């Protein structure tokens, strides 16, 4: 009787606590927020719509609400006499001051409201999944994304979205565009430390919601870094990984002080030997934010961050059989040697760069419905990539057509480049260095202003603003090491005698500046109702180019006139919530884009291409979403037609400038998220694409010194877009086995991937054949995280293993002469890699 009474009392003494957790500023539900009874291990996490249910004892107690990137929240409850206690809406506050203004400025899309295809990566995902992967690879389980490590050096990773590379993906950091102003590229080694300071990352596939006139044909990657922390504190992290990988980082913040000042800073040092032979690296990251809340209407925020680094690279791919025959296997690298007792990368096998960015932001809350955000920013970069030049440059270069050494390449008995032997021969030369080390420098000065006014009129939200940029890109080759020679004679500069002996530090081969001026206006009207939302965005810009050549022209004739273009865009979309569970959206747009710099000035000269055409893009998306508290599913289709695209393709140490190419990209994308129980999170993805080049084109071929080698025709009609898997799928399972102990597994499948076409082996009319199709492959990754306390400090241990089963696969390939596996030059993906680390919060 007493035993049964106790059971009954226990049952009667419990109550179900429910509620919904949202972001206080944006109103968005917080998925996976933790709710824990203080002093116990009893807790739960929110569902996909932010709701939760937690069974607790019928007594007064404290509930702790925790979510990465938000201030901890404590609520005292006293559910005596209640069967169900509904807390209603629980609002959590971001640990960043003024997050809402930043989201408006960065065109951050909201689910079920902004009618675009989106995927959002939260800080917890980066912490738990990234490990030793590089920043773009955190997106590898996103629909239509293909991310690899490229040649395998630190920071050499690349990403494509819907078959478009970064030339055609708009990349924004805190709302500021970072695509190169001349060619649209993004070099991820310049941003290698972003993973350490990213607060949120969002991929908007297709034309996206950005109001700026971006080159976002494939999509937009919107990265929000850390900003002003509300609370005082910081973190320390130390980690190790495969092949000598080491990483230490720290962050600290004063929090918002009584005088309304706040300072946050962080720094990271990452170094190691590299998975690929001869690819050691040393990288730093720094971040600083100083903010001042002047009053209720004005706030200033100064942000500076950068990632100075150097890394040795693998200069050329190899044929599949060459990897199989090499004792190093897929880690094969012929592009380095030993100099002064250290690993020394040869031509195309060393990079050093520093691209800091400084931004001063002013946020003016004019009234409750009006915000004016203005950012003034600057970026001044330095660095470049190593080259080996000279009359006998083949001494220290690899044949890029075959991936093998030339007959004259100097190698040590163990197959490394023999810099000492080259130096001995140079020392004996009576006519200077026959082979020497230079740097191909590509550095810039970039200044800009971005001002955005946001005004709400009831259900209508208007946004408009100005985007101004001025860019000077400096390009030259510089002698770095004469390898024991006394000088080098260079005949490319007409403004000095051909017999002038050049020393270390002198410029050679070419020296020119690319100047780009940009002034743009943009506007967006957005309607947000209970069941409907729609937007209309338009932009117009004036983009002007100028070229200055210091080698091929005499003073007074070195600078061209401005060449002007006026690209414009229009985008519109609508979303309809049929019920709370069913959502439909559609969007479309048309824009023109000014041709890239290399298409305007012919053959790397000051001669202006009067026939340079605007690139034209027409694109449509349509999708459907289904949502329940524990289940979400989305599916969408897209159609993108691109006319008169300018393409620059580098192969075999040569560069092809291909204007006027057309492409058609179509496909479907789907995602599903399921939380069967509060401890388990399951996410799946599938995407299918069909991306092809539509026509044959003419192109110009140049050597590494920008000298014209000839004009050719390339027969590429109906060839598939290369090095971008057109069928992908992924499955992610995260399971919190014990309170604070979580394990995760990720499966990724890639198929229908073709080698990148080489225009130089498609010059025979009538020989129509597709590029070689790479074998399909699947990788399996695992991760774990354990949260615990060290005294009063919160701590976490992380562990990651990527490619657990050591799957051997070709990740990137250049099509060969026979368009098959035997003739292709390839890069293999990495085998099994691992890392582990400890983070302590104070």
Residue 34 C-alpha from the chain's centroid = 29
The model's pLDDT over 97-131, given as tens digits with 9 standing for 90+, comes to 666 666 666 677 777 788 989 888 888 888 899 88
Angle at 579 between CA 576 and CA 580, to 5 degrees: 105
What CA–CA distance (Å, rounded) separates 302 from 729? 41
Q: What integer is the mean pLDDT of 563-579?
A: 95
pLDDT value of position 539: 94
User: If you ran DSSP here, which 8-state letter would residue 2 be given?
Assistant: H
> What's the CATH number where 11 sits?
2.60.40.10
> What's the CATH number where 672 sits?
2.40.170.20
pTM score, whole prediction: 0.89
Tokens (6 digits) for 292: 């001042």
b (16+ CB within 10 A) / e for 486-516: ebbbbebbeeeeeeeebeeebbbbbbbbbbb
730 pLDDT band (50/70/90 cuts)?
very high
- 191 assigned to some structural domain: no
3 pLDDT higher than 60:
no
User: Which of 92, 127, 143 is the C-terminal boundary of a domain?
Assistant: 92
For residue 218, give the 3-state DSSP assignment: coil
161 pLDDT higher than 50:
yes
Q: What integer is the mean pLDDT of 361-366?
A: 93
The model's pLDDT over 543-554, given as tens digits with 9 standing for 90+, comes to 999 999 999 999
Write the CB contacts of 270 (distance below 8 Å, at least 6 apart in sequence): 192, 193, 245, 246, 247, 281, 282, 283, 284, 285
What CA–CA distance (Å, rounded) separates 575 from 632? 17
What CA–CA distance (Å, rounded) separates 164 from 5? 68
- 274 assigned to some structural domain: yes
User: Which of 73, 92, 111 is the C-terminal boundary of a domain?
Assistant: 92
Are residues 319 and 825 in contact, defined by beta-carbon separation less than 8 angstroms? yes
The model's pLDDT over 178-218, given as tens digits with 9 standing for 90+, comes to 899 998 888 888 887 777 778 788 899 998 878 777 767 88
User: If you ran DSSP here, which 8-state letter would residue 418 be given?
Assistant: -
What CA–CA distance (Å, rounded) separates 356 from 349? 23
β-pairing verdict for 169-173 and 219-225: parallel
Q: What integer is the mean pLDDT of 298-325?
A: 95
- 198 assigned to some structural domain: no
The model's pLDDT over 414-432, given as tens digits with 9 standing for 90+, comes to 999 999 999 999 999 999 9
712 pLDDT band (50/70/90 cuts)?
confident
DSSP-assigned states of every residue in 529-542: -SSEEEEEEEEEEE
Instruction: Provide the number of structural domains found in the chain.
Output: 2
Task: State which H helix or E strand residue 745 sits in.
Answer: strand 741-751
What CA–CA distance (Å, rounded) separates 639 from 689? 10
User: Which of 31, 59, 92 is the C-terminal boundary of a domain?
Assistant: 92
With 0-12 / 13-18 / 19 or more C-beta atoms within 10 angstroms meaning exposed / middle / buried, residue 795 is: middle
- 624 assigned to some structural domain: yes
Q: What integer is the mean pLDDT of 266-286?
A: 96
Write the CB contacts of 683 (distance below 8 Å, at least 6 apart in sequence): 141, 671, 672, 673, 674, 730, 731, 732
b (16+ CB within 10 A) / e for 804-833: eeeeebbbbbbbbeebebebbbbbbbbbeb
Write the CB contacts of 39 (distance below 8 Å, at least 6 apart in sequence): 62
Q: How many helices (H) and strands (E) does the chain have?
A: 7, 53
Mean pLDDT of the chain: 91
What CA–CA distance (Å, rounded) separates 210 from 524? 9
The model's pLDDT over 652-671, given as tens digits with 9 standing for 90+, comes to 567 777 777 899 999 999 99
How many other CB atoms are found less than 10 A from the CB of residue 76?
A: 9
- 312 assigned to some structural domain: yes
Q: List the one residue out of 283, 261, 262 whose CA is nearest residue 272.
A: 283
269 pLDDT higher than 60:
yes
The model's pLDDT over 28-62, given as tens digits with 9 standing for 90+, comes to 888 888 899 988 878 888 998 899 999 898 888 99
What CA–CA distance (Å, rounded) separates 717 from 697? 9
Tokens (6 digits) for 199: 């607060």
Give the residue numbers spanning the domain of 70: 2-92
| Greatest pairwise CA separation for the chain in angstroms | 110
pLDDT value of position 372: 94
Q: Give the ranges where 179-333 is alpha helix by DSSP (H).
A: 194-197, 320-325
Residue 156 C-alpha from the chain's centroid = 11
The model's pLDDT over 208-251, given as tens digits with 9 standing for 90+, comes to 878 777 767 889 998 888 776 668 899 999 999 999 999 999 99
Task: State which H helix or E strand residue 122 sits in.
Answer: none
- Which residue(s) pair with 733 in the sheet? 682, 745
- 87 assigned to some structural domain: yes
10 pLDDT higher than 60:
no
The model's pLDDT over 477-516, given as tens digits with 9 standing for 90+, comes to 999 999 999 999 998 999 999 889 999 999 999 999 999 9
- 64 assigned to some structural domain: yes
- 174 assigned to some structural domain: no
């Amino acid at each position: 009787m007493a035993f049964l009474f106790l059971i009954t009392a226990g049952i009667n003494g419990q109550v179900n606590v429910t509620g919904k957790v949202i972001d206080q500023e944006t109103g968005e539900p917080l998925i996976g927020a933790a709710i824990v009874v203080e002093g116990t291990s009893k807790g739960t996490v929110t569902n996909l719509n932010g709701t939760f249910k937690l069974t607790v004892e019928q007594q007064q107690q404290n509930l702790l609400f925790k979510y990465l990137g938000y201030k901890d929240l404590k609520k005292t409850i006293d559910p005596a006499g209640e069967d169900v206690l509904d807390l209603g809406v629980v609002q959590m506050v971001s640990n960043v001051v003024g997050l809402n203004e930043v989201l408006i400025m960065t065109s951050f899309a909201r689910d079920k409201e902004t009618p675009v295809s989106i995927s959002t990566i939260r800080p917890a995902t980066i912490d738990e999944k990234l490990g030793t992967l590089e920043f773009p690879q955190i997106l590898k389980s996103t629909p239509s994304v293909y991310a690899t490590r490229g040649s395998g050096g630190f920071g050499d990773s690349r990403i494509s979205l819907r078959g478009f590379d970064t030339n055609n993906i708009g990349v924004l950091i805190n709302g500021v565009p970072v695509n190169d102003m001349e060619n649209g590229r993004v070099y991820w080694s310049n941003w290698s430390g972003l993973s350490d300071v990213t607060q949120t990352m969002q991929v908007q596939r297709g034309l996206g919601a950005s109001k700026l006139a971006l080159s976002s044909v494939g999509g937009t990657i919107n990265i929000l870094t850390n900003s002003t922390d509300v609370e005082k504190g910081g973190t320390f992290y130390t980690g190790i990984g495969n092949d000598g990988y080491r990483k230490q980082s720290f962050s600290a913040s004063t929090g918002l002080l009584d005088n309304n000042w706040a300072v946050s800073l962080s720094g990271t040092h990452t170094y190691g030997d590299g998975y690929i032979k001869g690819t050691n690296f040393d990288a730093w990251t720094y971040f600083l934010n100083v903010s001042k809340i002047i009053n209720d209407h004005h706030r200033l925020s100064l942000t500076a961050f950068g990632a100075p680094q150097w890394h040795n690279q693998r200069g050329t791919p190899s044929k599949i059989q060459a990897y199989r025959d090499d004792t190093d296997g897929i880690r094969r690298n012929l592009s380095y040697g030993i100099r002064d007792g250290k690993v020394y990368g040869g031509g195309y096998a060393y990079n050093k760069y520093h691209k800091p960015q400084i931004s001063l932001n002013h946020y003016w809350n004019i009234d409750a419905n009006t915000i004016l955000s203005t950012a003034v920013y600057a970026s001044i970069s330095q660095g470049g990539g190593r080259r080996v030049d000279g009359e006998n440059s083949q001494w220290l270069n690899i044949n890029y057509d075959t991936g093998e050494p030339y007959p004259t390449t100097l190698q040590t008995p163990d197959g490394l480049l023999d810099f000492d032997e080259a130096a001995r021969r140079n020392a004996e030369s009576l006519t200077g260095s026959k082979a020497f080390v230079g740097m191909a420098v590509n550095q810039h000065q970039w200044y800009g202003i971005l001002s955005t006014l946001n005004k709400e009129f009831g259900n209508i939200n208007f946004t408009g603003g100005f985007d101004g940029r001025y860019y000077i890109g400096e390009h030259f080759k510089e002698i770095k090491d004469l390898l024991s020679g006394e000088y080098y004679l260079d005949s490319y500069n007409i403004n000095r005698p051909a017999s002038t002996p050049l020393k270390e530090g002198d410029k050679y081969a070419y020296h020119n500046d690319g100047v780009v001026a940009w002034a743009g206006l943009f506007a967006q009207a957005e309607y947000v109702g209970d069941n409907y939302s729609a937007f209309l965005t338009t932009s117009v810009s004036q983009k002007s180019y100028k070229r200055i050549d210091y080698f091929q022209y005499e003073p007074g004739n070195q600078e061209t006139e401005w060449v002007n273009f006026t690209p414009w865009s229009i985008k519109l979309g609508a979303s309809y919530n049929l019920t709370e569970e069913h959502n439909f959206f559609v969007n479309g747009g048309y824009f023109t884009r000014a041709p890239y710099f290399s298409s305007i000035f012919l053959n790397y000269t000051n001669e202006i291409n009067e026939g340079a055409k605007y690139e034209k893009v027409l694109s449509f998306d349509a999708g459907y979403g289904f949502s329940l508290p524990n289940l979400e599913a989305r599916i969408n289709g897209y159609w993108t037609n691109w006319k008169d695209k300018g393409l620059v393709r580098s192969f075999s140490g040569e560069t092809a400038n291909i204007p006027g190419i057309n492409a058609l990209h179509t496909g479907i994308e789907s995602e599903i998220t399921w939380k069967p129980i509060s401890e388990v999170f399951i996410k799946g993805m599938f995407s299918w694409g069909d991306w092809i080049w539509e026509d044959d084109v003419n192109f110009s071929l140049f050597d590494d010194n920008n000298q014209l080698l000839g004009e050719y025709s390339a027969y590429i009609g109906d060839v598939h877009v290369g090095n971008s898997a057109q069928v992908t799928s992924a499955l992610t399972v995260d399971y919190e086995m014990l309170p604070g102990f979580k394990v995760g597994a990720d499966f990724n499948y890639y198929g229908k991937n073709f080698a990148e076409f080489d225009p130089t082996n498609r010059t025979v009319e009538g020989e129509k054949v597709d590029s070689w199709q790479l074998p399909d492959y699947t990788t399996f990754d695992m991760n774990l995280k354990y949260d615990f306390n060290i005294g009063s400090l919160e701590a976490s241990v992380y562990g990651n293993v990527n490619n657990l089963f050591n799957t051997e696969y070709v990740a990137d390939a250049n099509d060969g002469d026979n368009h098959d596996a035997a003739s292709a030059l390839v890069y293999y993906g990495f085998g099994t890699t691992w890392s582990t680390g400890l983070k302590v919060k104070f």
